[in-house]
Amino acid sequence: MNAPTDISPQDGRALEALMAFWAEAGVDTAFEDAPVDRLAAPAPPPPVPVRPTAPVALAAAGTADPDTAAAEARALAAACADLDALAAAIAAFEGCPLKGMGARQAVFSRGRPDAPLMIIGEGPGAEEDARGQPFVGRAGQLLDRMLTAAGLADQVFITNTVFWRPPGNRTPSPEEQRVCAPFVERAFALVRPRVVLLLGAAAARSVLRAEEGVMKLRGQWKDWRLPEGAIEAPVMTTLHPAFLLRQPQAKGAVWSDLLEVAARLDAGR
């Protein structure tokens, strides 16, 4: 490599010092004559020509249009005479995109099939995905403790608005909830609870088609009516137990809601 001839004596001494440093470090070979800026952004690669191919049918889970998938879910749900059949139909259903996003299994329900109180959350988390039951992680354990304290532990049927874990435990999208809604509604029709408790804003959005935030909805009674079968029940929305793990000072509000739910059940006996 030829040394430059148009540098000042000061720059020359700096260059000699640098070369001595690299020599002491064991560098004895230069690979290119001209300097190269290794930090510069690389030039984009040339476009690769795409050869036309015949269209391929999509077979992955959840590739159907949401309206088509929801219609399929409604037909499958309507054919289920009991909760066991409904659980099997959900497990076999391919229309929800969440099924193809890394979930291990469908997570449907736990609790009494004839429960007077139906509890609906948002979606399964990591522990629920591993064990196949809703609300069995930290949030579920907190929920169970609060239900026990309110005298409701043996009176519940628990499910979610979607049955596969969303990636990263994110909130399920309205489209994902809409596809699964026929199964939730069929569970409502089969259990026929006297009261429904919704946990979190996403559950309220799916079941009640609510636009308000959970802080405005909580503590208020609404009605959930199915268009067919004359199935209806009063609905209370409260904060999700996962929120209470982050904001324990809000437990008082949820406790108040649970006591009101218990009083409503007692009054209806």
The two structure tokens encoding residue 77: 């749900």
- What pLDDT does 181 receive? 98
DSSP state of 105: S
Q: How do beta strands 195-199 and 117-121 pair?
A: parallel
Placement of tokens 């004559």 in the chain: 33
DSSP state of 52: P
Backbone φ and ψ of 130, nearest 5°: -75, -35
| pTM reported for the whole predicted model | 0.77
The two structure tokens encoding residue 81: 């005479």
Low-confidence ranges of the chain (pLDDT < 70): 1-7, 9, 14, 17-64, 229, 269
Q: 3-state DSSP call for residue 269? A: coil
- What pLDDT does 170 receive? 96
Question: For the domain 66-268, what is the CATH code?
Answer: 3.40.470.10
- What pLDDT does 59 receive? 36
Q: Please state, in angstroms and rounded to a whole number, the distance separating the CA atoms of residues 197 and 116.
A: 11
- CA nearest to 191, candidates 141, 153, 157: 157
Q: Residue 214: which residues within 8 A CB-CB, separation 6 or more? A: 200, 201, 204, 237, 239, 240
- Strands laid side by side in the 232-238 sheet: 110-111, 156-160, 117-121, 195-199, 232-238, 221-225
- What pLDDT does 75 receive? 97
Q: In 195-250, at which residue ranges do the beta strands (DSSP E only) sit?
A: 195-199, 221-225, 232-238
Tens-place pLDDT, residues 163-203: 999 999 999 999 999 999 999 999 999 999 999 999 999 99
